[in-house]
Amino acid sequence: MTIPNLLALTQVYGKTTATNIGTAVTVLLSNSLASGKSMKLNSMYLANIDNTTSSRISVDFYRNSISIRLVDRMEISPGDSLIAMDKNSSVYLEEGDSLRCYSDQLNLIHVTLSYDVSQ
């Protein structure tokens, strides 16, 4: 597994992705093995789009078959949102790492990620 030298990068791309979250574990962002890349998560926004039902959300960092919880069953009230991560608390995904999420309610939570891909 090669980790790019952040001082000798040849390319850095800024990206944004968004999806709905269900009750099954959803991979939000994954850095494949032998990609030769590093991914820096800059921000993560979670929004409850329902007007009446609260939802509990969990987010984990997954490496080597081990899940490390970043957000644990945080309740998001109807119509509210949560900034789970911002540029001051970024996380790097090395090769083989992923960021995963799930909710106790189906399709009530929208998540938006901003991240950089470096190589």
What average pLDDT does this structure show over 77-96? 92
Nearest to 75 by CA among 51, 57, 101, 50: 57
Q: Is 16-118 a domain of CATH 1.10.760?
A: no
- Return the higher-pLDDT residue of 8 and 99: 99
* DSSP structure class, residue 87: G
pLDDT tens digits for range 21-59: 999 999 999 999 888 888 999 999 999 999 999 999 999
Fill in the amino acid letter for 3.
I
- Write down the pLDDT at residue 62: 96
Q: Find tokens 């040849």 and name the residue.
A: 10
Residue 92: enclosing H or E segment and its boundaries? Answer: strand 91-93
* DSSP structure class, residue 89: G
46 three-state secondary structure: strand
